[in-house]
Amino acid sequence: MKYYYLLSIAVFALSCSPKNEISDKAQLGDLGHNFSISENAKPHFDKGLLLLHSFEYEDARDAFMEAKEADPKEVMAYWGEAMTHYKALWGLQDVEAGRAVMQELGSSKEERLAKAENELETNFWMGIEYLYGEGELTERNKKYVDHMAALYEANPDHQEIAAFYALGLMWADYDNEENLKKSSAVAASIIEENPTHPGALHYMIHANDDPEFAQVAINAANNYAKVAPDAAHALHMPSHIYVALGMWNEVVSSNIDSYQASLNRMERKELDGTARGYHSYAWLHYGYLQQGNYDKAADMLKDMIGFHYDSAGSNSYLIVMQNQQRIEAGEWPQSLELVDVDYSSLGLQEKSAMHFFRSLLAFDKKDAASIQMEIDTLYTHLEAAKLVVTDDGIALCSAGPTRYAPSQSGIDKTQAVIYQMESLVAQLENDDAKTEEFLKKATAQEASGSYDSGPPFIAYPTFEQYGDWLLTKGRYEEAIEQFDISLKNRTNRAKALLGKKEALLRLDRIQEAQKVDEILSVFRMQQQVAAI
C-alpha cells in the first residue's frame, strides 16, 4: 500500500492556539491521504482526523468545526463533524446531531453530494448518508460497511478508505469473528506501509481484543501509546490487549498515563468532572486489585465515591468498582462507606453488579433472605430487558444513544449472575446439591456467551466461583479443572491463580504450585505471594 504524502500532526501551519486547544504540535500519529482539503481548513481537518482515529470525539469535533469555520465550503469538514457523533464501539450514536450536520451542508442528499469536489469526497460523504439515513441501526451499519468494502476493493492502497473499512467491519457486527479477522488484516496492511497510523494501530487492537487472538496485536498495543501520546484514549487502549494477556503491570502503567492525560485535558480546556477519564480510572482500579494492592484500590474507590455525582458514566463505574473491590479483596474495607447508587438510567451490567455486590454483603452476614430479595429485583430487570430486545440481539428503538440499552449478551450474562446469587442462598442453607446445581448452571451460561474486554461483566467469573466452592469441599482435582477453564477465559486472573495454587498444594503437587507462583510473582505484590 502506498500513500500520497505523510502528514504528522506536529503541524506548524498554525502559529498559535488558544489555551483550551490541543497543541498543533501534539503527537497524535501520522496519516497518508489525498483528500483535496483547502489550505485554510487543512491543518484543522488533519488534526481532527487524527483525533477521530483515536476516538477523541469531542476534541476531534472542535477541530472539524474549526476547519468548517476556516472554509464553510469544505465538505470533508462536515463529514468529519458528522463522524464524531457516531461512537459505534461504545454503543452510542447521536442520530439527531449527525443529521443536523447533514442539513447544515444541504437540505437533500442530492444537494449535499453536489458540493463534493471529487469522486473521493463523494464516496466518503455517501458513507454519512448511509450512517444517518433511514432504517434501523443494524441496517445502516450494514449499508455503510458494504459501501466501504466496495471502495476498498477499488482502492486498496488508500489508507483512509482502508481504515474506515476496518472500523466499519467492527461497527457492522463486533461479535462476528470473520468481520474481526478481516478488520485485523486490513489494519495490518496499513501498518505495514505506515506503522504510525493511529487508526490502524487502534483498530488492530479492537479487532483482536480477546485472549485467543490478543498476541496478534501485541506490537500494536506496545506502539500505539508511543505514536499518539497526546490522546488519552491511545494511552488506555494498549491495556485492552494487556488485560486479555494477563499483563497486569502494563495494565496499571497504561491507565495511570491515560487517567493523568484526562486530568491534563480537564485543566487545559477548563472542563468539569464529567470529562474525567473514568474508563481508565476503573481499569486502573481493576489492575491494582489483580496486583493485590487492595489498599491502593480502596483509596481509589474512596475518591470515586466523591466523583460519582458527575454523570451516569461515573455512577456506572462506581457500581462496578464496588463490586470488584469486594470480590477481589474478599471483604469490604471498613473505612469505606457503602454507596447506594441510583442505577435507574443504567444498564444490565450495572444492575447485575449492584445486586451481586449487595448479595455478597448479605452473604457475609449470613442473610439468605436479603440475597433472595436481590435476586427477585434483578430478575425483574432481566425480564423487562427481554421485552425490548429483538431477535438480532439489540434493543428496539436503538437508533440513538445505546450504551446502556439491553442486549442479548447482557441478558445471558445477567442470567449467569442470578444463578451465582442462587448458589449463595443455597450455601447459606447448607444445601450442597443445590449449590452445585446453580454453580453448574452459571458456568454453562457463561460458557455459552462471548468474551467481554476489560473488567468482566460477570465480575466473579463463574468457573472461579465454582472452583473456590470445590476447594471448601476438599475436591481439589475438580477445583483445578475449574480454575484452568477460568484462566483460559481470563488470563492470569489472580483469584484463579491463587485458588489453583492452593489446590495444588493440598495435593502435594509442589512443582506445579511453584510454576503458578512464578506467574504470580511477576505482577502480584510480594506480601500477597506466600512462599512455598
DSSP class per residue in 464-504: HHHHHHHHHTT-HHHHHHHHHHHHHHSTT-HHHHHHHHHHH
pLDDT of residue 161: 98
- Yes or no: say if 9 and 41 are a contact pair by the CB < 8 Å rule: no
105 backbone φψ class: left, alpha, beta (φ>0; ψ -120 to 50): alpha
Report helix, strand or coil for 412: helix
**Which residues, including other chains, have CB under 8 Å from residue 344's CB and lie 6 or more apart?**
none
Could you tell me the three cell numbers for 83?
463522524
More confident residue, 292 or 345: 292
pLDDT of residue 33: 79
pLDDT of residue 25: 58
- Count of other CB atoms within 10 angstroms of residue 451: 15
Question: What digits encode the pLDDT tens for the residues 61-86?
Answer: 999 999 999 999 999 999 999 999 99
C-alpha 13/C-alpha 42 separation (Å) is: 9
> In this predicted structure, which of 9-23, 46-60, 159-173 has the lowest mean pLDDT?
9-23
- Yes or no: say if 199 and 188 are a contact pair by the CB < 8 Å rule: no
The arithmetic mean of pLDDT across residues 438-454, rounded, is 95
Q: For residue 40, what is the DSSP state? A: T
> In this predicted structure, which of 173-177, 249-253, 378-382, 393-397 has the lowest mean pLDDT?
393-397
C-alpha 344/C-alpha 242 separation (Å) is: 32
> In this predicted structure, which of 98-107, 154-163, 216-225, 331-340 has the lowest mean pLDDT?
331-340
The arithmetic mean of pLDDT across residues 386-405, rounded, is 59
pLDDT of residue 365: 97
Q: For residue 517, what is the DSSP state? A: H
pLDDT of residue 18: 39
> In this predicted structure, which of 8-22, 145-159, 374-388 has the lowest mean pLDDT?
8-22
H or E element, residue 66: helix 57-70
Written as one letter, the residue type at 240 is: H
Buried (b) or exposed (e) across 233-248, using 16+ Cβ within 10 A? bbbbbbbbbbbbbbbb
C-alpha 170/C-alpha 249 separation (Å) is: 28
The arithmetic mean of pLDDT across residues 407-422, rounded, is 96
pTM reported for the whole predicted model: 0.92
Phi, psi torsion values for 93, nearest 5 degrees: -140, 120
C-alpha 42/C-alpha 64 separation (Å) is: 10
pLDDT of residue 407: 87
Could you tell me the three cell numbers for 333?
474495607
What confidence category does residue 392 fall into, taking pLDDT thresholds of 50, 70 and 90? low
C-alpha 307/C-alpha 331 separation (Å) is: 23
